[in-house]
Structure 1
Amino acid sequence: MTDDHAPADPPLGPTSLTWRYFADTRMLLVGPRAAVLQNMLPALGQGVQDHSVFFAETFARLRRSVGPIMDTVYGGPRAAETGRRVRDYHRDIKGTMPDGSRYHALDPETYYWAHATFVDHLMYGIDTFVRPLTDADRRRIYAESRTWFRMYGVSDRAMPEDWEAFQAYWKRMLDEVVVPHRTARYGVGYVTKGLPAPRRVPRALWRRVSPPLNAVARFITVGGMPPRTRELLGLPWSAADERRYRRFAAAVRRLDPLWPLLPDAVRYFPHARRAFARDGRPRVR
């Protein structure tokens, strides 16, 4: 039974932590954590394998997916309209799993898992590369994420009621549900094989510049994954790697006081800058 006196989930806007940080360019340092985790859910990974251009245009697919999500978060008066449009992109993504069972992208459990990975990505990114999150911060971001999810117009029956329930949900998903699906393994294949050469870059030039790029991509990708999923995907990561990653994250956090001195074009993606111009800048810390 719903408590009629329970406080409403907070809106997204200038007073929300989600607005302040979701389009912060430092979130790029998390790497493809959310995308890889999404594809480790069997039904979601199968849907991407069967219906997406992910294998032919991996990075293009990621760019096309993230933009509409940001437009939902920063959509203001049109956020729900944008969210429903994002939902409708998935109406025809359905099919059969290898065991003969059926899947559909709009199944509430499947759709919520995709959303949950963005919530995790946001909290992990802030806590690792911006500033330590307090328990109150986490509760606030989670409450805001409930508002965000409802913008898609998908059943919220799979959405945990509160932050404690989300923590239990997240642990169960990582411990018992996610698998090293082919789509997820392909998505991190460059960790061992190297990044694919861009079409317009001469091969000779790519051979010279790719080694440091591959090293950075590996470091960010593997470092940003939960330990359990590193094991499932067979991603190499040593104790020395972990120490380097922690030192790197600490160095980035120490730069946070200087971050506001940079121009918005460096600090935020365009989706956020348009929202700030329309509705005002974030007024929270």
Structure 2
Amino acid sequence: MTDQPLGPGSLTWRYFGDTRMLLVGPRAAVLQNMLPALGQGVLDHSVFFSETFARLKRSAGPILNTVYGAERSHETGMNVRDYHRDIKGTMPDGSRYHALDPETYYWAHATFLDNMLYGIETFVRPLSEAEKRRIYEESKVWFRMYGVSDRAVPEDWEAFQSYWKRMLEEEIVAHKTARYGVGYVTKGLPAPPKVPAGLWRRVSPPLNEVARFITVGGLHPRMRELLELPWSQADERRYQRFAATVRRLNGLWPALPEAVRYLPQARKAFKQARQSRMRAS
């Protein structure tokens, strides 16, 4: 496996920064916090509870830059790693945790891989087995940009599937951090700053329903079960119709401006790749 960063020929570049992935909702973030050690680290050290959306925004940028940083991907990845050096402590049972434990760190990475695979197949198109294997191999390249031990990384796509099944069935729990992360599903979205409470009460109900639909719909059934989030068969039928509608509109997708189709980090990387090709020609 090469240590060269990912580039414009990779499927990961094509899809990870695609704005359709936002339709998945907070699947990866919630799933990360369902691993006890990771959830405890966020509980003990993060501003997640006081600045939830700001924390998510600050985390997403460096991850995207690790994927799309080209020759700077390794530097960016090691910076992301180093943010986690002091995230350590004691679990409720007395055992110790550290964010840079390879198994814990890999779990966070694996949730981003799962998020992308789910987003592509739900809102873009089915993936062939060869494409899934290719994306998985690319995820190993991406993980190496962090400079963390790869001892927890499954050898191949088949091994990853076994790993993922075990983690969902045996390792994840309804950690307090994960419950908090989906609390708005039942309690409603918090009012934005400077929006009067009376106005928010009038305009928030439809926004709350959309947030619930996107959030709970994008979760794995095992997550819904553990977090006790209601999801009926009627909900599932509506979600599948929504996903099918998005897929049907994908024929128009290439005609939209790149600023609509991709997040800023991806657009910057695409621009730099085009400029490099022009200089080389």
Preserved contact between residue 9 and residue 146 of structure 1 (Cα < 8 Å): no
What letter corresponds to residue 255 of structure 1 in structure 2?
L
Note the C-alpha offset of 1:11.
5.0
| Distance in 1, Cα, partners of 2:245 & 2:274 | 30
% same residue: 78
Per the normalisation by structure 1, the TM-score is 0.95
Residue 24 in structure 1 maps to residue 21 in structure 2: no
Secondary structure of 1:280's counterpart equals: helix
Q: CA deviation at 1:280?
A: 3.0
Q: Specify the alignment match of 1:3 in structure 2.
A: none
Candidates 276, 279, 282, aligned match of 2:273: 279
**What TM-score, normalized by structure 2, do the two folds share?**
0.96
Q: How does 1:125-274 map to 2 (within 5 A)?
A: 125-274=119-268
Distance, in Å, in 1 between the alignment partners of 2:46 and 2:202 is 32
Q: Structure 1: which 5+ residue stretches go unaligned?
A: 1-6
> In the comparison of the two structures, how many residue pairs are matched?
275
Measured against aligned partners, the alpha-carbon deviations of 1:29-64 in whole angstroms (never above 9, x if no partner) come to 000000000000000000000000000011110000
Deviations, residues 124-170 of structure 1 (Å, cap 9, x unaligned): 00000011111111101000000000000000000001000000000
Contact kept in structure 2, 1:130 and 1:256, CA below 8 Å: yes
Aligned-pair CA distance for 1:10? 8.0
Q: Which residue number in structure 1 is paired with residue 110 of structure 2?
A: 116
* Counterpart code for 1:252: V
User: What is the CA-CA distance between 1:257 and the residue it aligns to?
Assistant: 1.1
Code of the residue aligned with 1:225 in structure 2: it is L
TM-superposed CA distance for 1:192, in Å, is 0.6
- Pick from 104, 127, 130 the counterpart of residue 98 of structure 2: 104
Question: Within 2, Cα distance between the matches of 1:205 and 1:272?
Answer: 36
SS of alignment partner, residue 97 of structure 2: strand
CA–CA distance in 2 between the matches of 1:105 and 1:71? 20
Pick the aligned partner of 1:94 from 88, 93, 101.
88
CA distance in structure 1 between the aligned counterparts of 2:274 and 2:241, rounded to whole angstroms: 35
1:268, CA displacement in angstroms?
0.6
Q: Is the 8 A contact 2:3 2:144 kept in 1?
A: no
Using the TM superposition, give the Cα deviation of residue 276 of structure 1 relative to its aligned residue in structure 2, in angstroms: 0.5
* Aligned counterpart, 1:44: 38
Mapped to 2, the partners of 1:10 and 1:88 lie a distance apart of: 20
2:278 corresponds to: none
2:15, 2:249 → 1: CA distance?
A: 15
CA distance in 2, matches of 1:56, 1:97: 21
For 2:194 and 2:89, the matched residues in 1 are separated by: 36
Partners in 1 of 2:4 and 2:240 — Cα distance? Answer: 33
Greater fraction helix: 2
- Which ranges of structure 2 fall in alignment gaps of 5 or more residues? 276-281
SS at match of 1:255: helix
Match of residue 73, structure 2, among 62, 76, 79:
79
Residues 255-278 of structure 1 show CA distances to partners (whole Å, capped at 9, x for unaligned) of 111001010111111100110111
Report the residue type matching 1:123 in the other structure: L
Q: SS state of the match for residue 172, structure 1?
A: helix
- Cα shift readout 1:233-272 (whole Å, capped 9, x = no counterpart): 0001000000000010000011111001010111111100
1-structure distance, mates of 2:5, 2:191: 43
Q: Secondary structure at the match of 1:95?
A: strand
